[in-house]
Amino acid sequence: MIDAQAELFWTALEGLPRPTLKDLFADPMRLARYSATVDLPGGPIIFDWSKTHLSPEVEALLGSIAAAMDLEGRRDALISGEKINNTEGRAAEHTAQRGVGKESSVEDAADLHARMQMLVDAIHEGALGEVNSLIHIGIGGSALGPALAIDALTREGAKVAVHVVSNIDGCALEAAMKACDPATTMIAIASKTFTTTETMTNAHSALDWLRDGGVSDPFGRVVALTAAPEKAVEWGVDETRVLPFSETVGGRYSLWSSIGFPVAIALGWQGFAEFLDGAAAIDRHFIDIDLAENVIVRAAFADLYYAQVRACQTRAVFAYDERLALLPDYLQQLEMESNGKRVLADGSPLMRASAPVTWGGVGTDAQHAVFQLLHQGTHLIPVDFLAVKVPGHDLDPVHHQILLSNCFAQGAALMAGSASDDGARDYPGDRPSATILCDDLNPATLGALIAFHEHRTFVSAAMLGINPFDQFGVELGKAIAKQIDSGEGEGFDPSTEALLAAAGIGA
């Protein structure tokens, strides 16, 4: 049900004056108040939210909403392993995978990690023969996280080359297979239920490829990553190469579990352990730091302010580092699948805006594609910039200097604008942005960045009163597709019937 007290605070928030960013910076303490450096295992990260319209008055009301919605209690319930995913009757224990949570769940996660480490070490030591490549097959949370981590962290080389395949379009799998030698390739099948249509179809084709390539025992080259280990064994994977994870770990939160196997294969176990440590440090920040000083809560407060008060329907994320090119894609699923809801956790209607549309790209490419709209379009779009002080290459330092200069200049320009009598050259300014500046990009830093966004998403959900851990909205289209594939579908609308006929499906 809608919390009446929270609604009063939302109404008060909507009625506050709306000073410009320039006016807000008249406060000499603004930068100190809204920018914080958090020391983490991978190096310090600066979280600068000073170029947003947050103010003490705005934060006070958002803090009152947080209290009315029991944000602290919901956070504690998340960490302690309570069944906060009420629609599916389970906990959401991704933090336990990195050592923070209910003691028994943390111990179980450690045991499963030890099992995974044994297999990872065995592969690296050659116990399973020569392994130069891994084709990792999954979709959604089973693919986006591994793809991000591998792209970000292995550009200077990997212990094993990993190719992540998610799309059912055979072009994706075919490209991966062309890059690999069947004799030295393993297949990882990542599916929580071990029934996902796209994943299992790709898995069958990968087995055929191994068989056709002369591998006498293709199942002997397969590793299963799943919360349904019995289904993997039934499918044909040897139990010693089944790496389970808990049913309480959601797909888009599963990178820390055995779904991270390809990351560990690529980096080595030490790198994967550092990845977990970086995330755990953010967990501790979320738990230990007062809400008023918590960088996670501040980011969520800004998100809620723009979506609920300023009616911003989108939020843009731009990574000014090629290694983080896949981060906007990752955040799209995390935020939109988690918080793209129309009902509260109790099933009653959500009367406020749900999650904004998350989108973005890579700087400086995006500047020449979409920044025209950000600076002069009619939409108000909050922007997050992410950058790294240490470059990921050995070229002339001028490359990185220009990259970072552009990143910081865009935030300054969005805020300041530039007046002109020529409307085509007039920049209104007063457009919000936040900047996350990492000292270095390494496994611990990436783990911290991902965990920061996980908790940021959770805070928004808690303050709206929705359940961010189910995703029933993805099921209807998949169910209809299965009806079509099985020949049981009938009575579609005329457009769909015509398209099926034109494509020769079901004829």
H helices present in 155-294, as ranges: 170-178, 197-212, 229-235, 261-267, 269-288
368 belongs to the catalytic site: yes
Torsion, Cα 134 140 141 142, to 10 degrees, reads: -30
Q: What does each C-alpha distance from 455 to 82, 151, 335, 339 come to in angstroms?
A: 16, 23, 10, 12
- DSSP code, position 85: B
Contact between 198 and 166 under an 8 Å Cβ cutoff? The reply is yes
The Cα angle at residue 130 between residues 134 and 274, in degrees rounded to 5: 55
CA distance 383 to 367: 13
Q: How far apart are the C-alpha atoms of 60 and 485, rounded to whole Å?
A: 54
Catalytically annotated residue among 130, 156, 178, 368 = 368
Q: Given 335, 337, 341, 455, which residue is catalytic?
A: 337
Could you give the CA distance from residue 263 to residue 361 in angstroms, rounded to a whole number?
23
Query: Can you tell me the distance from the alpha carbon of 256 to that of 413, in angstroms, rounded to the nearest whole number?
Result: 38
**Residue 337 is a catalytic residue:** yes
Residue 368 carries which DSSP code?
A: G
Distance CA 6, CA 65 (A): 5
H-helix segments, 306-424 = 327-339, 371-376, 398-416
Query: Helix, strand, coil % (nearest 5) of the chain?
Result: 55, 10, 35
Contacts of 397 (CB under 8 A, 6+ apart): 391
Distance between CA 453 and CA 458 in Å, rounded? Answer: 9
Cα 59 to Cα 2, 75, 248, 268, 414: the distances in Å are 21, 19, 33, 43, 22
By DSSP bridging, strand 185-190 and strand 133-137 are: parallel
d(CA 209, CA 138): 17
Q: Residue 161 corresponds to which tokens in the numbers above?
A: 């080359």
**Cis peptide upstream of residue 445 (ω within 30 degrees of 0):** no
* Residue 115 CB-density burial (10 A; 0-12 exposed, 13-18 middle, 19+ buried): middle
* β-bridge mates for residue 418, sequence order: 427
Q: What span, in angstroms and rounded, lies between the C-alpha atoms of 449 and 334?
A: 13
Q: Is 53 a catalytic residue?
A: no
Query: Would you say 385 and 355 are in contact if contact means Cβ atoms under 8 Å apart?
Result: no
Q: What is the DSSP string of 32-54?
A: HHHEEEE--TT--EEEE-TTSS-
List, by residue number, the catalytic residues.
337, 368, 478
